[in-house]
A = this chain, B = another copy of it.
Amino acid sequence: MELSRPSFDALHTPQRILLAPGPTNLPPAVSQALIAPLLGHMDPAFLQIMDETKALLRYVFQTTNELTIALPATGGAGMEAAIANVIEPGDRAVIIVAGVFGERMAEIAGRCGADVDRIEVEWGRAAELEAIESALQRKAKVVGLVHGETSTGVEQPLAGIAQVAHDHEALFLVDTVATLGGVAVPVDALGIDVCYSGGQKCLSAPPGLSPITFSTQAVESIKGRRQKVQSWYLDVSLLEQYWTETGARVYHHTAPVLMVYALREACRLVAEEGLEARVARHARCASALRTGLQAMGLQVFAQEPYRLDTVTGVLVPEGVNDAAVRGRLLEEFGIEIAGGLGAYRGRMWRVGMMGYSCSEANVLLFLAALGKILNEEGYRNGGGVEAATVALR
């Protein structure tokens, strides 16, 4: 006897302006790619799309790394793959913990059997190079950190860390989930050994894939492992054989084909715009957003000069109800922003200006909508839109 059969109408979703720290709205070309005819994961036409995606990802990461692919899962899996492939049980991992995503990195390293050495950083601040150098006085396999910490809106400076790490024979692992395509991440120039991101942030693909790249040193380290990577699904030695451009493709998993289409299109648009212009667009919009928020009397959480352009954390003013304001933004304007995480739950708004969602129009609309709602909620303010408009001149 069959269990009861549910009956639902065809899917219908409201239109949103996505200004949380990802996902973003999709460029029309990316949406269109999703309804291109589906190919099998071993179809020669799809293998060519994979090759093109690799070429585009190398451009986006600014790297010549051979092992540059899109993992078949979202950004969290990128973090897990990065760590699980380089860490073996007992290896020491120095992890900078300056927010929720640094915390997650330490957690995952622990699950991979690492001896985790945390460099704790106060929320809203960045780690000092000296602290990293000091932690490396004891041998470590890897130094890991989050470039753009979306829980705080802080950009961690990367310059100089690779040198310190390499001087101490450690690999340099960087999470660029919130920055790749929005803030400059020249992987080769920065000496990063393992770098991953998410497709749904500044690249504006739909969520589902995690681009990742490994330096020659990282690949050597992986080849020299004493035991297998604990995850079969995220084992890059296996994934590499499916993504190879030179050898015979070896089937590993059924690729999320449409997600690869979409990522290919999203990265093609990044190349079309050019990284330099794209980074400048994010800087310009973020600056105008911060100027507008401050003109309204609101406090940007992250300390200068470490403010992240792609995600701005701003404190909820005294007496204002976080959830009420976010609810009204969503219902009255279709605008999604995010609330605070951890200790800042209910006390912070996190506003993304990423990829296709990062535009002058969205900066002004968001400030206007927030200003109106805050006034109605009893927080008197004005001048946000005007200040941002001047900043955008």
Contact = CB atoms under 8 A, between A and B. Distances in A.
A26 B37 CA distance: 9
A99 to B, nearest CB: 14
B253 A62 contact: no
Nearest to A10: B29
18 contacts: A3-B58, A5-B59, A8-B56, A8-B268, A11-B265, A11-B268, A13-B45, A22-B254, A39-B336, A44-B330, A72-B73, A72-B77, A73-B256, A76-B233, A104-B232, A198-B254, A206-B256, A206-B258
Contacts of A35: 31-32, 34-35
A41 B23 contact: yes
Given A11-B36, A76-B253, A208-B258, 5 more contacts: A11-B261, A23-B41, A41-B207, A73-B233, A111-B231
A45 B336 CA distance: 12
Interface string A9-37: 01111111010101101100101111111
Contacts of A220: none
Interface string A221-252: 00000001111111000000000000000011
Interface stretch (A270-278, A288-296, A309-317): A270-278
Contact of A59 (B4, B33, B259): B4
A376 interface: no
A233 B265 contact: no
A38 B35 CA distance: 14
A74 B11 contact: no
- Identical chains bound together, number: 2
| 4 closest residue pairs by CB, A with B | A208-B256, A76-B253, A73-B73, A34-B34
A231 to B, nearest CB: 6
Contact of A13 (B16, B26, B36): B36
B49 A13 contact: yes
Task: Report the interface size class on chain A.
Answer: 35 or more
Contacts of A253: 74-77
B232 A108 contact: yes
Contacts of A147: none
Contacts of A55: 6, 8
B3 A16 contact: no
Nearest to A184: B2
A80 interface: yes
